[in-house]
Amino acid sequence: MLPTPSLPPARILVVEPASSGGGSLIGVAAELGMRVVVASADTGDRRLSGPVRAAAETVLTVETNDQAALEAAVLRLHREEPFEAVLAGADIYVPAAARVAAALGLRGLEVATVDRVRDKGVMRAAVAAAGLRTPRFAQATSEDELRAAAGLVGFPCVLKPVACSGSIHVSRADDLEQLEAAFRRLVTDPVPDMGQLHEHRVLVEEYLAGPEFSADGYVLDDGTVTVAALTRTLLGPEPGFMELGHLTPAEVAPEELRRVEDYVREVVRAVRLTSGTFHCELRLTADGPVLIEIGARLPGDRIVELLRLVTGVSLPRVALATALGTDPAEAGAFGAPSAKSAGIRFFAAGGRTRFQQPAGWRQVTEDAEVAEAALYFAPGEAIPEAEDCRSRIGHALFTAQSPRAALERWQALGAAVTLD
């Protein structure tokens, strides 16, 4: 159990809680007795979930991709009854939340530097300028620029949109033909991401060989940077980079863990993340850790819950406390672990556009080590053809006695569930 919190009640604004991290944030805020106003377009892939809608005191329906409209709508509510904090519910809205907070005179990330934790091109430049290793990269907005970027970076390389979420349209290319095909898939994709059509600005960057991890933690006002846990990320087959699972804690040698933590602290300082939570993705290459990206946000994919189970740290409580300028301990952020290891297995459609009940699903739901399981599509419902997070059909979150046992459980769950 987490300690009993002693934070005073507060009225907070959360902008577009579209990720699982944003949903967790609102649920925890409600548990703490906070009054939550959610700003959302509440349509398409920004449609609010039932639990979020139930936990929110008020839903402010506004086009959150229109900064002027968002600020005007929030300012009207603020004048009626002030907000005490503004938080982003998804990585895309970190800059918007920072600008709203500044407009209201509240705590938040520096508007002048907030793009360092969102725009991957700006992020790469800031980290490289600090003398830290990043992938070799170049930006492109057209096929001519794409070819020039490939000439600078070489093959194999990775095409990555500067602003998409969830590894959408991130693709490995081994030659120019594959790179151009990946770019054309991006620019012709008619399905928006959080209501926004895909920007044609991309990074072409060096392909990094090595296992992938995420380091999640927080920064306090005194500058202390804490990595709460290192989590192993398990990916589907390339050329895509669909995340099929996460295991906490990652099984790495103590000296490698210290090296990663030191690197992540330097990355946090390079992007000028001065307060709040962060989610840092990296690969551990033969030459050490190398940044994939860092966000000033809670992690998605239920990593928040994995960390709580294994470390006792509630990152949503840390996020709320730091946004309000109070001690996270007063929000009950630091409790006792309840599991030695935990993981999540995502199930992919494998190219299918529809399915009935997956074979083996009952076995998953009855597994004593599975803490939660969910399907995202109803039988017969259309599944996006995209080979990224949009075509994952469900997940199972589980506990284990060790990182090695967690990996074995992740593999067993993948083998148990098949689509008809």
**pLDDT by residue for the chain (420 residues), tens digit each?**
444 555 668 999 999 998 777 789 999 999 999 999 999 999 998 999 999 999 999 999 999 999 999 999 999 999 999 999 999 999 999 999 999 999 999 999 999 999 999 999 999 999 999 999 999 999 999 999 999 999 999 999 999 999 877 788 999 999 999 999 999 999 998 888 888 888 889 999 999 999 999 999 999 999 999 999 999 999 999 999 999 999 999 999 999 999 999 999 999 999 999 999 999 999 999 999 999 999 999 999 999 999 999 999 999 999 999 999 999 999 999 999 999 999 999 999 888 888 878 899 999 999 999 999 999 998 889 988 777 888 899 999 999 999 999 999 999 999 999 886
CB distance 57 to 36 below 8 Å:
yes
Chain-wide mean pLDDT for the chain?
93
320-354 confidence digits (pLDDT tens): 999 999 999 999 999 999 999 999 999 998 888 88
Dump pLDDT digits (tens) for 263-280. Answer: 999 999 999 999 999 999
Strand order in the sheet with 370-375: 288-295, 276-285, 212-219, 225-235, 243-248, 341-348, 392-400, 370-375
Query: What does the alpha-carbon distance between residue 337 and residue 156 come to, in Å, rounded to a whole number?
Result: 41
**Residue 350 has what pLDDT?**
83
How far is it, in rounded angstroms, from Cα 318 to Cα 2? 13
Domains of the chain: 11-115 (3.40.50.20), 136-206 (3.30.1490.20), 212-416 (3.30.470.20)
- For residue 266, which phi and psi values (nearest 5 degrees)? -70, -35
Residue carrying structure tokens 């199930």? 347
Please give the Cα distance from 156 to 176 (Å, whole number): 10
Alpha-carbon gap, residue 134 to 147, rounded angstroms: 21
- pLDDT attached to residue 1: 44
pLDDT at 356: 79
pLDDT at res. 40: 97
E-state strands within 174-327: 202-206, 212-219, 225-235, 243-248, 276-285, 288-295
**387-413 CB burial, b ≥16 within 10 A, e <16:** bbbbbbbbbbbbbbeebebbbebbeeb
